[in-house]
Amino acid sequence: MLLLLVFFGVGLWLYAKRVTDARVDRFIAVYALTPTVSGRAELRSYLTRRRRARAAGVLVGASIGLVGSIPDDRVDFAFVPMVAGWLVGSIAVELAERAGGGRAEQPVRVSSRWNLMLAAVGLLWTTAAVSLRGEGVGYGPLLAWGAGALATVLVVFAATRYAKRYRPRDQFPLDPDLGPAATTDAVRGLTAGGLALALLCLARVWTEAVPGPYAEAPRHVQAVWLVAIVLLVLTTVTGRWRGRTWWALAMVAVLPIAWAVPIRLAHQAPFGPEEAHATGQIQVARLDRVPAVQARLGLKQDPQISNIGAESLPAELIGRVDVTRPAPDGTYYRLFGFDSHTNDAIFLYGADGAGWYGEWSRVLPARYSWLSNVVRAGGTNEPMAVAVDSDSGVLWFRSAGADPGKQAAVDLQLVLMLVRDEDSYIYWATPVLSDRR
Neighbours of 76 (CB within 10 A): 13
The range of the structural domain enclosing residue 348 comes to 273-436
* Strand locations in 370-432 (E): 375-376, 379-380, 395-399, 412-420, 426-431
| Residues forming a β-bridge with 322 | 279
Q: Clarify whether residues 11 and 127 are in a common domain.
A: yes
pLDDT digits (tens), the chain, 437 positions: 677 788 888 889 888 999 999 999 999 998 898 888 888 999 999 999 999 999 999 999 999 988 887 766 666 778 899 999 999 999 999 999 888 777 776 666 666 677 777 778 888 888 888 888 887 778 888 999 999 999 999 999 899 888 888 878 777 777 888 888 888 889 888 988 888 898 888 888 887 887 554 444 444 555 556 666 666 666 555 555 455 566 666 767 777 787 788 888 888 899 999 999 888 888 777 767 777 877 887 876 654 544 444 444 567 778 888 898 989 999 989 888 887 777 777 777 776 665 555 556 666 777 787 887 775 543 445 667 788 877 777 888 877 543 444 556 667 888 898 988 877 788 888 999 877 66
Q: Is the distance from CB of 110 to CB of 160 less than 8 angstroms?
A: yes
Q: Clarify whether residues 178 and 85 are in a common domain.
A: yes
Task: Please tell me the distance from the alpha carbon of residue 3 to that of residue 93, in angstroms, as a whole number.
Answer: 29
Structural domains of the chain, count: 2
Task: Please tell me the distance from the alpha carbon of residue 263 to that of residue 132, in angstroms, as a whole number.
Answer: 10
Q: Clarify whether residues 201 and 70 are in a common domain.
A: yes
Given 216, 249, 266, the domain boundary residue is: 266
Query: What would the DSSP string read from start to end of 102-165?
Result: -B-SS------THHHHHHHHHHHHHHHHHHHPPTT--HHHHHHHHHHHHHHHHHHHHHHHHHHH
Q: Clarify whether residues 351 and 427 are in a common domain.
A: yes
Task: Please tell me the distance from the alpha carbon of residue 365 to that of residue 373, in angstroms, as a whole number.
Answer: 7
Given 266, 293, 315, the domain boundary residue is: 266
* Strand locations in 194-341 (E): 279-286, 315-322, 331-339
Look at the pTM and tell me if it is higher than 0.85. Answer: no
Q: Clarify whether residues 278 and 425 are in a common domain.
A: yes
Query: What would the DSSP string read from start to end of 14-62?
Result: HHHSPPPHHHHHHHHHHTT----HHHHHHHHHHHHHHHHHHHHHHHHHH
Q: Is the distance from CB of 178 to CB of 39 less than 8 angstroms?
A: yes
Given 266, 292, 323, the domain boundary residue is: 266
Cα–chain-centroid distance for residue 298?
46
Q: Clarify whether residues 122 and 207 are in a common domain.
A: yes
Q: Clarify whether residues 112 and 220 are in a common domain.
A: yes
Q: Clarify whether residues 196 and 331 are in a common domain.
A: no
Which pLDDT belongs to residue 226? 64
Q: Which one, of 208, 216, 163, 218, lies nearest residue 46 by Cα?
A: 163
Task: Please tell me the distance from the alpha carbon of residue 311 to that of residue 17, in angstroms, as a whole number.
Answer: 77
Q: Clarify whether residues 194 and 284 are in a common domain.
A: no
Q: Clarify whether residues 97 and 164 are in a common domain.
A: yes
Which pLDDT belongs to residue 306? 43
Q: Clarify whether residues 215 and 84 are in a common domain.
A: yes
Task: Please tell me the distance from the alpha carbon of residue 359 to that of residue 425, in angstroms, as a whole number.
Answer: 10
Q: Clarify whether residues 101 and 227 are in a common domain.
A: yes
Residues 6+ apart with CB under 8 A from 229: 195, 196, 199, 200, 203
- Whole-angstrom CA distances from 257 to 126, 135, 209, 283 are 11, 17, 11, 50
| Residues forming a β-bridge with 426 | 419
